[in-house]
Each structure stands twice: as structure tokens, then as C-alpha cells.
Amino acid sequence: MAGRAHVVVIGNEKGGSGKTTVAMHLAVGLLRLGFRVGSIDLDHRQQSLGRYIANRQAWVERSGVTLPMPRVGVVQPSANDLKSGAIAEDRTAFDTVLAELNQTSDFVVVDCPGADAPLARHAHTHADTLITPINDSLLDLDLLGQLDPVTRELKRSGIYANLVWELRQERRKLHKSGIDWVVTRSRLSALVDRNKLMMAEVLPQMQRILGFRLADGFGERVIYRYMFLWGLTVLDLEQAGIGMEITKSHQSAREEVCSLLANLWLPRVSERLGRL
């Protein structure tokens, strides 16, 4: 990629939408396809992605199993008491870390906090691909767009969709390129209810107006949460060294990850998917 990594930002202003699960599985999937992957966790408080990767490293050292590891870039938060000064210093720190990872990575995966934060906004302007996981909920949908309860027509764009539109314009000015925005439905239940049917109806309509692509996300599976303590993903089960029997549900989860990788249209990925 000619000295510049493809930057994938996982962003959504709502917590609990599965951003870190997507970020980790994306990073491991790309690693298993033979790419060099860097990672940045911008949630300074929770550090969920950072802890996930640390758990993975600890399990490798403890068990002796061989697992691919992403390179970790750490953006230290500014200690400046002046808000404007802190924002500027945070942006400079992020740019420095990203530039370093650019030299050693084909892809950089950035996990953003579930809130509107200045540093997360700045990271969005560096995104070649933006992934926004949303729970299968009308509450989450409201961040993208507000619907008429009777006609189900889009009345106005939501706060996060407005933010993405603004940051897309800023990116075009700074980098002369756009953002490929992909929205995924996360934690899908196997049960069919009115909420699920409405989501399936309105999201395809919204994507044409708001300018995102819709891709299948991850189902509501215990395995995605269970593997965190070991730092493992569903792509690691055969090598994990934890003696877990692989079930049909695990295989379905693996297929979900492979499907997401295929639908992201990332450079040189489709030609390697047969390796997974």
C-alpha cells in the first residue's frame, strides 16, 4: 500500500453496540489473511480494545500457543488544563502514532469511544473505511435518522449521521478523498419480532439517503463475549489451546466474520479470503 496503511475506524456515539468486538475480529481476520495490522484504542477510560489485546498477549505467553498479534499504538491523553490546548495536543499525538503505524502496517484499526469526543472526530477524518455497528434497536437507529412512527419515512438525519456528513466534508478538504461508511446490524436475535422487521425495512431506505452501505453484522452469540478473557476471537478457536469443542454456533460466528470482511471491500482482501 505504498507506505500508507488503509485506516479503518470503528465509530458510533452510543456505547454497547459491539465496536470493540468488531475491531478485534477485524484485526485478527486481517492478520490471518497475511496483512500487517496496527491498532489504536481511543477510549482512554475503558480501553476495551487495549485490554483485549493485552489479554491475548498474556495468553500467548502463558500457554505457548502461536497467535497473530496486531501492533499496538498508544495515544497518551493530554494533561493540558486548557481545553483547546488539550484537543490540539491529542490530535498531534494521534497523528504521530498513526504515522508510525503507517510505516509498519497495511491496515490500522481504530476503536473509538461510544461518545462524541474531539479526538474521535479527528480520527474519523483519517478513515478510509468507517464501520458503525448498531444494535438491532430503534433507539440505536435514531442516531442515524429520525422516523415518522406512522409512515416510517425518514423525517431528518440523526446526530451521528450529521456528524459523519460534516467529517466527510472535512476529510475531502484535508485528504482529497472520501470515507466509505458501512453500517452493520449487531447482536441480531434469531427471533423475529416487530422491531427486527422494521429495522430490516427502514435501513435499506435510509442508506440511499444518508450515504452509507449496509452490511450484515454479528449475531447475539455468547462466544463473542466469552473469548475476551483469553484475548481470542472466533477465528482462533482451532489454535486457542483452551480445549473448547467447536459447535455449529461457533462455525456460524466464524462465517459472520468472514462475511463482514468480504463486504467491507478492503484493498486486496477479497483475493485472500480463501485462507480463512
Q: For residue range 42-53, what is the model confidence (pLDDT) as tens digits?
A: 999 899 999 999
C-alpha dihedral (155, 159, 160, 161), degrees to nearest 10: 40
pLDDT at 1 (0 to 100)? 39
Query: Helices marked H in the chain — which ranges?
Result: 19-32, 48-63, 83-102, 118-124, 138-141, 159-175, 194-210, 222-226, 248-263
Q: CA–CA distance from 48 to each of 20, 22, 108, 110, 114 (Å)?
A: 7, 12, 17, 12, 11
Angstrom distance (rounded) from CA 132 to CA 156: 19
- Mean pLDDT for the stretch of residues 139-166: 92
- Mean pLDDT for the stretch of residues 229-236: 96
What cell was used for 109? Answer: 484499526
- Cell 440505536 found at: 140
pLDDT at 190 (0 to 100)? 62
pLDDT at 2 (0 to 100)? 45
For 198-208, the pLDDT digits (tens) are 888 899 989 99
Band (175; pLDDT cuts 50, 70, 90): confident
SS3 label, residue 98? helix
Q: Is the pLDDT of residue 194 over 80?
A: no
Mean pLDDT of the chain: 92
Band (119; pLDDT cuts 50, 70, 90): very high
- Mean pLDDT for the stretch of residues 131-136: 92
- Mean pLDDT for the stretch of residues 138-145: 90
For 4-42, the pLDDT digits (tens) are 899 999 999 888 888 999 999 999 999 999 999 999 999
Q: Is the pLDDT of residue 172 over 90?
A: yes
- Mean pLDDT for the stretch of residues 53-71: 96
- Mean pLDDT for the stretch of residues 102-122: 95
User: What's the topology of domain 6-275?
Assistant: Rossmann fold (3.40.50)
**In the chain, pLDDT over 70 holds for what percent of residues?**
97
pTM: 0.94
pLDDT at 189 (0 to 100)? 65
Band (139; pLDDT cuts 50, 70, 90): confident
Angstrom distance (rounded) from CA 54 to CA 244: 21
pLDDT at 3 (0 to 100)? 61
- Residue 185 backbone dihedrals phi, psi, to 5 degrees: -90, 120
